[in-house]
């Protein structure tokens, strides 16, 4: 069939597009260094890692498959309540299995709701995702005898990880636990995005009409992607419940859906590292700047969104790429 040099060219192209770079290790090494160098920031760092994981899950469905949702917190919240309730109500305190349960239940819920909702598009889909997540939020409020509602779910106790690593007040154990999970999910998601399925998702994002015309089962593809994203979001929620040993119905709130959207857009969609970078910048800014002036902070976030949409639609990392290109540095 094809001449060998052509095949080689395709493989070279794909490897250059997909393969990990040595410099990426820098991110993870530095992330690992945080609790060693600055153990007192571990608790905050854990929150950042959880936001990173949550944003990663959104990137998979929004950045790769192009599905716009206003209700992604639904899956975060389901995961949080699954692992929280397992411990608080059923007395199951082992962390890894609790986390796995969060991911599985959330993925199952994602599969069901995705199969129902993803046949719709545009504002209809937007409203449906919003309605589903708000219904869950209200359910958690109404059913507070189970969930604790606004006051929160008390009595979550998480056993030491592997029975060895105790949860310390500084949060170093939690940080390590979160970082390990983040890395695993990142590697899995990266693998999915560079697979033929990942390619099909990009195709749906770029042109759903043509994807249908080449015979792609759109609903099936999207539901699978949505299930994976929901599972990862559920893991993030489960992690949130376990590391805080406490959750309120806030885990299902619209504000959380909006925040993760902002985080992802800030970093840049469809590149995984955008989710990580966006979460870091957003959380740091929220932590450091919001207190200076709450009003200005809200204005700042709004302005940021407007500026990003108008001036750098592919986020901070996209902006960085463009700056590099403008200076003639080799990108890729």
Partner 1 sequence: MTAAAAEPALLSTVDLSKNFGGLQVVRNVEFSLQRGARHALIGPNGAGKTTFVNLLTGALRPSGGRIAIAGAEATHLSEADRVERGLVRTFQINQLFRGLTVFENIALAVAQRRGMARTLWRKSASCAEINDEAMAIAADLHLDGIAFRRIRELPYGSQRLVEIAIALGLRPRILLMDEPAAGIPADERDLILGVVGRLDPDIAILIIEHDMDLVFRFAREITVLVGGAALTSGTPEEIAADPRVREVYLGSGKHG
Partner 2 sequence: MGHAVQAAVSILFDGIAYSMVLFVMAVGLSVTMGLMGVINLAHGAFAMAGGYLTVTFLGDLGLPFLPGLVLATLAVGAASVPIERALYVRIYRRPHLDQVLLTIGVTLMSIAVATYAYGPSPLSIKLPAFLETQVGLFGRDFPGYRVFIIAVGLLAFLGLWGGFERTMLGAKIRAAVDNRAMAEATGVNTTRLFTLTFALGSALAALGGALAVDLVGLTPRFAFQYLVLVLVVVSIGGFGTIMGTFAAALIIGVIDNAGRYLFPEGSAFFIYLIVILVLICRPGGLFGRA
Partner 3 sequence: MRIGSTSWIAPLALLAIAAGTTVASRAEADTVKVGVILPFSGMAADVAQSELRAMKLYYKLHKAELGGHDIALIERDSKEPSGATAQTLTRELVVQDKVDMLVGYQFSPDAIASAPFITQAKKLAILVNAQSSHIPMLSPYIVRVSASSWQITYPMGPYAFDKLGCKTAIVGFTDFAPGRDVAAAFKAGYEKAGGKLVDSIAMGGPAQVPDFTPYLQRIKDEKPNCVYIFTPAASFNAALARAWRDQKVAEAGVRFLGTGDVTQDSVLPQLGDAAIGWITGGHYTADLDNPANKKFLAAWTKEYGDKVKPDFFTVQGWDAMAAVFHVVKTLKGKIDADKAVAALKAWKEDSPRGPIMIDAATRDIIQNIYVQEVVKKGDSLGIKVIGTIPAVKDPCKELGVGNCAAKK
Contact 182, 53 (CB under 8 A): yes
Please, which residue, 188 or 305, has the CB nearer to partner 2?
305
Residue 194 Cβ vs partner 3, minimum distance, rounded to whole Å: 9
Length of the chain: 332
Alpha-carbon radius of gyration of the chain: 20
User: Considering the rule CB under 8 A, would residue 182 count as an interface residue with partner 2?
Assistant: no
Stretch that binds partner 1, among 5-13, 173-181, 254-262, 273-281 (CB under 8 A): 5-13
206 binds partner 3 (CB under 8 A): no
d(C-alpha 206, C-alpha 217), whole Å? 15
Cβ closest to partner 1, residue 157 vs residue 195: 195
Instruction: Give the integer Cα–Cα distance in Å for 13 and 18.
Output: 9
Q: Does 256 bind partner 1 (CB under 8 A)?
A: no
Please select the residue that binds partner 3; options are 148, 231, 237, 238, rule is CB under 8 A: 148
> Closest by alpha carbon to 245, among 291, 295, 177, 191?
177
Q: Which does 160 bind (CB under 5 to 8 A by kind): partner 3, partner 2, partner 1, none?
A: none
* 19 contributes a contact to partner 1 by CB under 8 A: yes
Q: Which of 24, 168, 206, 298 binds partner 1 (CB under 8 A)?
A: 206
- Give 110's contacts (C-beta < 8 A, 6+ positions apart): 75, 226, 227, 228, 229, 230, 231, 233, 234
Instruction: Give the angle 56-48-114 at the CA atoms, nearest 5°.
Output: 30
Give the one entry of partner 1, partner 3, partner 2, none that residue 15 binds, where binding means its C-beta sits below a cut-off of 5 to 8 angstroms depending on kind: partner 1
Show contacts with partner 2 in window 258-297 (CB under 8 A): 258, 261-262, 265, 269, 295-296
Candidate list 42, 224, 247, 276; residue touching partner 1; CB under 8 A? 224
Local structure of 158: helix, strand or coil? coil
If one asks whether residue 271 binds partner 3 (CB under 8 A), the answer comes out as yes
Q: Of the candidates 38, 131, 154, 180, which one interacts with partner 2 according to CB under 8 A?
A: 131
Spatial distance between the Cα atoms of 234 and 240, rounded to a whole number of angstroms: 10
């Amino acid at each position: 069939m094809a001449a060998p040099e052509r095949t080689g060219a395709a493989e070279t192209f794909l490897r250059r597009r997909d393969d990990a770079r040595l410099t990426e290790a820098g991110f993870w090494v530095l992330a690992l260094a945080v609790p060693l160098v600055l153990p007192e920031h571990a608790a905050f760092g854990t929150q950042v890692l959880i936001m990173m994981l949550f944003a990663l899950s959104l990137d998979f469905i929004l950045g790769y498959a192009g599905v716009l949702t206003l209700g992604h917190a639904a899956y975060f919240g389901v995961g949080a309540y699954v692992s929280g309730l397992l411990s608080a109500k059923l007395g199951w305190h082992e962390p890894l299995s609790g986390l796995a349960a969060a991911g599985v239940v959330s993925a199952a819920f994602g599969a069901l709701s995705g199969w129902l909702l993803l046949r719709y598009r545009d504002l209809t889909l937007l409203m449906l995702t919003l309605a589903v997540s708000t219904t869950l939020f209200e359910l958690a409020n109404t059913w507070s005898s189970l969930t604790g509602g606004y006051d929160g779910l008390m009595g979550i106790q998480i056993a030491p990880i592997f029975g060895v690593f105790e949860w310390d007040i500084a949060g170093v154990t939690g940080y390590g636990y979160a970082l390990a999970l983040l890395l695993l999910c990142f590697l899995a998601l990266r693998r999915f995005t560079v697979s033929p399925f990942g390619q099909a998702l990009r195709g749906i994002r770029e042109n759903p009409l043509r994807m249908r015309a080449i015979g792609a089962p759109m609903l099936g593809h999207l539901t699978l992607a949505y299930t994976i994203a929901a599972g990862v979001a559920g893991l993030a929620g489960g992690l949130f419940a376990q590391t805080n040993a406490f959750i309120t119905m806030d885990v299902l709130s619209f504000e959380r859906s909006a925040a993760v959207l902002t985080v992802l857009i800030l970093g840049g969609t469809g590149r995984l590292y955008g989710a990580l970078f966006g979460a870091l910048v957003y959380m740091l800014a929220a932590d450091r700047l919001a207190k200076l002036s709450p009003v200005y902070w809200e204005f700042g976030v709004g302005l940021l969104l407007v500026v990003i949409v108008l001036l750098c639609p592919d986020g901070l990392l996209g902006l960085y790429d463009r700056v590099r290109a403008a200076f003639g540095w080799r990108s890729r």
